[in-house]
Structure 1
Amino acid sequence: MATTTDPAPEVPSLAPGAPDEAHRVRARVPSRFPYRTISLGTIGSVLLLLGALGAGGVLIRDPVIGTGPLSWVRYGHGRMLANAVLYTGFGLVVWAWVRLGRYMLAGRIGSRPILIAAACWMGPLLVSPPLFTRDVFSYLGQGAQLLHGLDPYAHGPAELNVLPDVVQNVHPVWQTTPAPYGPLFLLVAKGVVALTGDDVIAGVIVTRLVLLLGLGAMVWALPRLVRRLGGKLPITLWLAVASPMTVIHLVGGPHNDLLMLGFLTVGVLAALESKHVVAIVLVTLGMLIKPTAAVALPFLVWVWANHLPGDNRGRNFLKAGAASVGIFGVVFVVGTWVSLGSFNLGWVAGLQAPTLVTNWMNFPTGIGQLAHTLVHLVINVPESPFINVARLLAVAALGVFAVRQWWKSRFGGNEAVFRMSMTLLATAILAPPTLPWYLTWGFVVAAAFPWRRRHLAIVVGVAVFLVMAYYPTGEQALYDWWFVVLMIGVGVYAAASLLRPDPLGLLGAWRRQSVAEGGAVTSPTSSATT
């Protein structure tokens, strides 16, 4: 309707398989601030918060609800109601995000409403119980170990005899498992526990606030990356900041990947701006948060080499490589020493801990499980050899892929950054394990490149699936096959809704009449590819 605050959504009409830019029809509708869409997502975020009190990553001994009059929300029908509220909130956030995406593609809103929407949707989750994960309790447990002199790379939190509330909330799988995180992040976790002590609720909130520094760095760097990588800023911010992957997983989780991504994005920007020493320092610090950031470093060497004067590529590469290795070595040694009080490389061995997670979201693990299932029909054999062989082959394939992408990056520039992003994504998919938020490693930087509308729709479907792949409690939902079918269906519908409002006609004729009265006709005023 022309009188609504939000603009009416566009109805794309592109010929199948034709380029987006060849079939544009400009919509003559004035831009308006999307108050209703932002409010819709904010209501959804509040419902996520309320539902999480009963169905999220709740505490074993909760000083807020505990055994009081509201404790019923964690048992029986009360828990079912909490789950219903939580998933309703999730649906509203996704609905608002997709609507915002349609307005963005129609050219009716710019970057500011998207950032405001993301802030409104994240706000309630800052004080929420953890959503779809319990990793933050592991962060606090490992920080407590470092604070009280117990090596997190040699022992699990269960061996800590202080801060009982912090320790007991660590997931059973990680109670006796060494930390898989970089030493700098353990120093951050140590600081959080030093401030909040055995108050787990305060620890979760303070952890989120610290991780927001990474979000702030991303928001600062992305507009500058867009100018260099050729994307559209509203699309980039919609993908990388307002997405449910960021709002729900990285902030609502929360996950330390957000802090690593802050270092990574600013580091990549510094490399493109010829501030190469700063770039290597920042990405190395990101590696000391989450070790996978190290994948980006060899690609930044090519960027540096191509910025050096002279035509001798081999000599320039050796100069840039030697300088990068030297800078990396200094930052790595000093960062490890400052964080741990000694040059303790035990955290390298700790990287094996996540391989304990086995699910078919990790492509090679899924192949191994499928092979075992087929063989098991004939003979009773254990599953682990199948998974181990499949993972070994996948790691070898990843190595070949990474080297090939690295070599194709030898001319530096945007090409090197793009191939770096693809290699980070491949690492998340092929190296064990694959957890939903791992896909953000390469995706955030890739968001600054040009995108086609059909690819954006695919991202919507994948993002919805990745959030729903774990139950709100943090347990995986990937073997509840009816729920998997539901996940896929919801993801496909959300993806289709980006390109065409109400693709199944579920909202009825009145909605179609509303679109017609609003005057919004076909495809966006500016394509995602320009």
Structure 2
Amino acid sequence: MTIGAFGIPELVRSRFSGGSSDSRPVRNTALGLLASAFVLLIVPTFLGSSAATPPLGARTFWPPYDLGLTPAPGLVVVLLATGFVLAALGLWQALRAIRLGWAPRVDRVLKASTLMTLALVLVPPFGSADHLSYAAYGRISDLGADPYVVAPNTWPTSDAVIAAVEAPWEGTPSVYGPIATALFQLLAALGAGELRMTVWLWQAVVGVAFLATGALLYRLAGQDETRRARVAVLWLLNPALLAILVGGAHLDVLAVAAGVAGMALLILPRRGALLVRVPLWVLAGAAFGLAAGTKLPYLAVAAAAWWAIHRRPPAELAVATTSALVGGLAVLLPAHVWAGPHAYDQTQKASHFVSIASPWRTVISLLEALFGQAARNALPLLFAALAVLVILAARRIWQPVAYSRVGTDVEVRSAARALLVLSLAYPLAAPYVLPWYDAPVWIALVLADVPLLLEGLLVARLAVMAISYVPGRADVPSSLATEVMLGVRHVAAPVLVCWLLGWLFASAWRSVRSEGLRISRLRTRTNASASTVSPRTTMAVLPIQPGVPHSHDH
């Protein structure tokens, strides 16, 4: 066995055969970078509790496992930051290889992704302490209290799971949807008050959801080799996304999995009688209900999927829409009755939060200096207005998929494009953003055809946002390395958002100008032709044939 670039065995690269000879050097470099990145990202948490990895109490026979060491914050920061940089470089090289014809084999991709996911599930979560909040809210609910009212630090008795919540959330009731809370409670009951076991059960659920999402994306990609390759590279073998979503054990993975399942169930059934497809559409609605009941913004996936099918025959569209609504309500209504009247109290408060990585922090600070608390109170309205502008600009750039033919492939591309438009609005316009909030953007990026520059900017954003929140825990000792990462959060992340917004609005403006010039030239030619054609000839030429669509009807 020979050792290739970046210390990765040649055997690793040979497992992903496929594509032209031109793609092989680029493919090999990409796989070397991606594998190296994954190793660097998982090593710190395997060493033990650190600035990135919250402690889980005494080690036991059960996972997650670590070596029980305490790596220095500087070492953790260097390893994680280097890993995310290599991941971004590897993704860019892998996308180049795909454009050169690389088509990784599905079975090998699934095996490799399963091994990577399993490795992350067997070590402690890292990059944030959110999983401790999930466990605490589930424990509070399991003990008979309302996690939407009771904050962890107000719990009257000593409890290892509830007391493990870290700053800044120890005084905050749950902000998560009722479906999420129900799952937290179930896992807390299974964990029986053991912090390590409760967290590991949650990690296992997240890992399964990540792999299920990849399998569903393959199903949506159909037989399109390029799109299948993008599923492999951008989702299943993406070490940055794996580290953020699975390594961080974030709830967003479950919302994404449910949303993608709903999309597949709504779009893919195209044959057979309507009554035969109704149960699948009801299940699609139930899946969308699970996604929205986990995290409300994931309703965007349902909206994108409905947009994809809205050109179907009216009767079919009506039945599909009604069935999906029935399925969604069947999930959401009982869940909200169970959750009680305070389910969205903290969500309303969270709508006024502003994160450091957002460029709007500076804007809000200036507005607060001028207008006081009124500026903070107006934050949700300002966010909504900017989100609408982002959606309109993105919609202007990515015109709807032409319906010269209606089929599953067209609808999948339409759904992906609609989801990209909707999901970009949140990370670009929202005042409070975190790396794992970009999950639906990557679902859309897998299936959509996007400009090369935007693809590069989103890969860069993934790395910059991830590095911005290295090491991850809020209450850690300060060091030169952590201060540098804080600088990235204060400067690089907001600048990149502004760059993306600038590109988006500039592209939309160019599109408007280009269409204006085209219409102007068309009118000039029409007027010139009209001046040289007799009225009788004009009447013979101009009438539109019945049933022939206009070019702008696409």
TM-score when normalising by structure 1: 0.71
Match of 1:472 in 2: 471
* Contact 1:165–1:199 under 8 Å retained in 2: yes
Structure 1 residue 116, shift from structure 2 partner? 4.5
Q: Please state whether the residue corresponding to 1:172 is helix, strand or coil.
A: coil
Match of 1:449 in 2: 448
Q: Which amino acid aligns with 1:256?
A: L
Matched, 1:307 2:312: yes
1:393 to 353, 359, 382: 382
Measure, in 1, the Cα distance between the counterparts of 2:319 and 2:235: 34
* Contact 2:262–2:283 under 8 Å retained in 1: yes
* Contact 2:300–2:422 under 8 Å retained in 1: yes
With a CA cutoff of 8 Å and minimum separation of 6, indicate the structure with the bigger relative contact order: 1
Aligned pairs for 1:188-337 within 5 A: 188-227=183-222, 232-274=227-269, 275-308=280-313, 321-337=321-337
Residue by residue, what CA displacement relative to the aligned partner does 1:143-171 show, whole Å, maximum 9, x if unpaired? 00110011111221223345622222213
Does the C-alpha gap of structure 1 residues 101 and 142 become closer, same or farther in structure 2, counting only changes over 3 Å? same
Q: Which amino acid aligns with 1:285?
A: L
Structure 1 residue 173, shift from structure 2 partner? 2.9
Does the C-alpha gap of structure 1 residues 40 and 479 become closer, same or farther in structure 2, counting only changes over 3 Å? closer
Q: Please state whether the residue corresponding to 2:311 is helix, strand or coil.
A: helix
* Contact 2:259–2:288 under 8 Å retained in 1: yes
Measure, in 2, the Cα distance between the counterparts of 1:403 and 1:31: 37
Measure, in 2, the Cα distance between the counterparts of 1:395 and 1:28: 44
Q: Please state whether the residue corresponding to 1:287 is helix, strand or coil.
A: helix
% identical aligned pairs: 17
Does the C-alpha gap of structure 1 residues 283 and 163 become closer, same or farther in structure 2, counting only changes over 3 Å? farther
* Contact 1:44–1:93 under 8 Å retained in 2: no
Q: Which amino acid aligns with 2:473?
A: G
Structure 1 residue 402, shift from structure 2 partner? 6.0
Aligned pairs for 1:421-436 within 5 A: 421-436=420-435
Measure, in 2, the Cα distance between the counterparts of 1:469 and 1:36: 24
Structure 1 residue 425, shift from structure 2 partner? 2.6
Aligned pairs for 1:354-393 within 5 A: 354-355=350-351, 357-369=353-365, 371=367, 384-393=373-382
Q: Please state whether the residue corresponding to 1:307 is helix, strand or coil.
A: coil
Measure, in 1, the Cα distance between the counterparts of 2:293 and 2:260: 15
Structure 1 residue 286, shift from structure 2 partner? 1.2
Q: Please state whether the residue corresponding to 1:54 is helix, strand or coil.
A: coil
Does the C-alpha gap of structure 1 residues 389 and 184 become closer, same or farther in structure 2, counting only changes over 3 Å? closer
Does the C-alpha gap of structure 1 residues 303 and 487 become closer, same or farther in structure 2, counting only changes over 3 Å? closer
Q: Which amino acid aligns with 2:432?
A: P
Structure 1 residue 264, shift from structure 2 partner? 0.8
- Deviation larger for 292-301 or 274-283: 292-301
Matched, 1:107 2:101: yes
Measure, in 2, the Cα distance between the counterparts of 1:441 and 1:331: 21
Structure 1 residue 450, shift from structure 2 partner? 2.6
Measure, in 2, the Cα distance between the counterparts of 1:238 and 1:32: 11
2:123 to 125, 128, 131: 128
1:346 to 342, 348, 359: 342
Measure, in 1, the Cα distance between the counterparts of 2:54 and 2:82: 19
Does the C-alpha gap of structure 1 residues 84 and 184 become closer, same or farther in structure 2, counting only changes over 3 Å? same
Measure, in 2, the Cα distance between the counterparts of 1:51 and 1:469: 22
Match of 1:497 in 2: none
Structure 1 residue 324, shift from structure 2 partner? 4.1
Measure, in 2, the Cα distance between the counterparts of 1:320 and 1:443: 26
* Contact 1:266–1:282 under 8 Å retained in 2: yes
Measure, in 1, the Cα distance between the counterparts of 2:339 and 2:39: 48
Match of 1:458 in 2: 457
Measure, in 1, the Cα distance between the counterparts of 2:208 and 2:51: 28
Match of 1:179 in 2: 174
Does the C-alpha gap of structure 1 residues 287 and 478 become closer, same or farther in structure 2, counting only changes over 3 Å? farther
Does the C-alpha gap of structure 1 residues 306 and 345 become closer, same or farther in structure 2, counting only changes over 3 Å? farther
* Contact 2:121–2:200 under 8 Å retained in 1: yes
Structure 1 residue 40, shift from structure 2 partner? 2.7
Measure, in 1, the Cα distance between the counterparts of 2:163 and 2:99: 47
Structure 1 residue 190, shift from structure 2 partner? 1.3
- Deviation larger for 276-285 or 470-479: 470-479
Measure, in 2, the Cα distance between the counterparts of 1:38 and 1:172: 32
Structure 1 residue 71, shift from structure 2 partner? 8.0
Structure 1 residue 327, shift from structure 2 partner? 3.4
Does the C-alpha gap of structure 1 residues 169 and 43 become closer, same or farther in structure 2, counting only changes over 3 Å? same
- Deviation larger for 129-138 or 272-281: 272-281
Structure 1 residue 103, shift from structure 2 partner? 4.2
- Deviation larger for 224-233 or 459-468: 224-233
* Contact 1:31–1:108 under 8 Å retained in 2: no
Q: Which amino acid aligns with 1:351?
A: T
- Deviation larger for 213-222 or 163-172: 163-172
Aligned pairs for 1:15-26 within 5 A: none
TM-score when normalising by structure 2: 0.69
Q: Which amino acid aligns with 2:295?
A: K
Measure, in 1, the Cα distance between the counterparts of 2:86 and 2:419: 34
Structure 1 residue 108, shift from structure 2 partner? 4.1
Does the C-alpha gap of structure 1 residues 269 and 478 become closer, same or farther in structure 2, counting only changes over 3 Å? farther
Measure, in 1, the Cα distance between the counterparts of 2:333 and 2:299: 15
Residue by residue, what CA displacement relative to the aligned partner does 1:421-444 show, whole Å, maximum 9, x if unpaired? 321231343244222211112331
Q: Please state whether the residue corresponding to 2:127 is helix, strand or coil.
A: coil
* Contact 1:27–1:106 under 8 Å retained in 2: yes
Match of 2:499 in 1: none
Structure 2, unpaired ranges of 5+: 14-19, 61-66, 270-279, 404-409, 476-481, 497-554
Measure, in 2, the Cα distance between the counterparts of 1:229 and 1:290: 31
Measure, in 2, the Cα distance between the counterparts of 1:124 and 1:162: 35
Measure, in 2, the Cα distance between the counterparts of 1:458 and 1:167: 40
Q: Please state whether the residue corresponding to 1:447 is helix, strand or coil.
A: helix
Does the C-alpha gap of structure 1 residues 443 and 483 become closer, same or farther in structure 2, counting only changes over 3 Å? closer
Match of 1:49 in 2: 45
Q: Which amino acid aligns with 1:331?
A: V
Matched residues, number? 451
Structure 1 residue 256, shift from structure 2 partner? 0.6
Measure, in 1, the Cα distance between the counterparts of 2:26 and 2:359: 43
Residue by residue, what CA displacement relative to the aligned partner does 1:492-514 show, whole Å, maximum 9, x if unpaired? xxxxxxxxxxxxxxxxxxxxxxx
Structure 1, unpaired ranges of 5+: 10-24, 311-315, 376-380, 492-530
Structure 1 residue 254, shift from structure 2 partner? 1.3
* Contact 2:336–2:343 under 8 Å retained in 1: no
Match of 1:80 in 2: 74
Residue by residue, what CA displacement relative to the aligned partner does 1:382-439 show, whole Å, maximum 9, x if unpaired? 5x54444354222134357669999997989343442133212313432442222111
Structure 1 residue 134, shift from structure 2 partner? 0.8
Structure 1 residue 129, shift from structure 2 partner? 3.2
* Contact 2:177–2:294 under 8 Å retained in 1: yes
Computing the radius of gyration over CA atoms, which structure comes out larger, 1 or 2?
Answer: 2
* Contact 2:23–2:101 under 8 Å retained in 1: no
Matched, 1:164 2:159: yes
- Deviation larger for 107-116 or 268-277: 107-116
Structure 1 residue 46, shift from structure 2 partner? 3.9
